Amino acid sequence: VEMEESGGSVVHPGGSLRLSCAASGIQFGSYAMSWVRQAPGQGPEWVATISGTGFNTYYADFVRGRFTVSRDNSKNTLYLQMNSLRAGDTATYYCANNNWNDMSYFNHWGPGTPVTVSS
């Protein structure tokens, strides 16, 4: 199983960014997928999760209304649209698949993509 994030960049406060995560070696549409971020020197922080079908999405309170998670199962790709970015959103963003039966933990992680929000 491999996952690779892309799209991280330096962006001004208030700006937008779209992250992508390409997955391989997994029946992509069978798994919920998540974004987890980690600010420098801090622990991981869950951001968002989307069900295998894409019908259900879940967000951490601090991103609800600003970030949107989506997926294209035909392309085995997960996305995170980030709007109204703030300095506090600066972090490495990881994609990960949730375990198959109850989504309670994260099996496989990508190497991450860095996002810096700075003027």
Q: Which residues bind another protein (CB under 8 A)?
A: 34, 36, 43-46, 49, 58, 60, 94, 96, 99, 102-112
Please tell me the distance from the alpha carbon of residue 29 to that of residue 18, in angstroms, as a whole number.
21
Start-end of H helices in the chain: none
* Distance of closest approach, residue 102 Cβ to another protein, in angstroms: 7
Our CB check for another protein shows the closer of 34 and 117 to be 34
Please tell me the distance from the alpha carbon of residue 107 to that of residue 87, in angstroms, as a whole number.
29
Our CB check for another protein shows the closer of 45 and 70 to be 45
Our CB check for another protein shows the closer of 23 and 49 to be 49
Q: Is 87 helix (H, G, I), strand (E, B) or coil?
A: helix
* Distance of closest approach, residue 92 Cβ to another protein, in angstroms: 9
Please tell me the distance from the alpha carbon of residue 67 to that of residue 26, in angstroms, as a whole number.
25
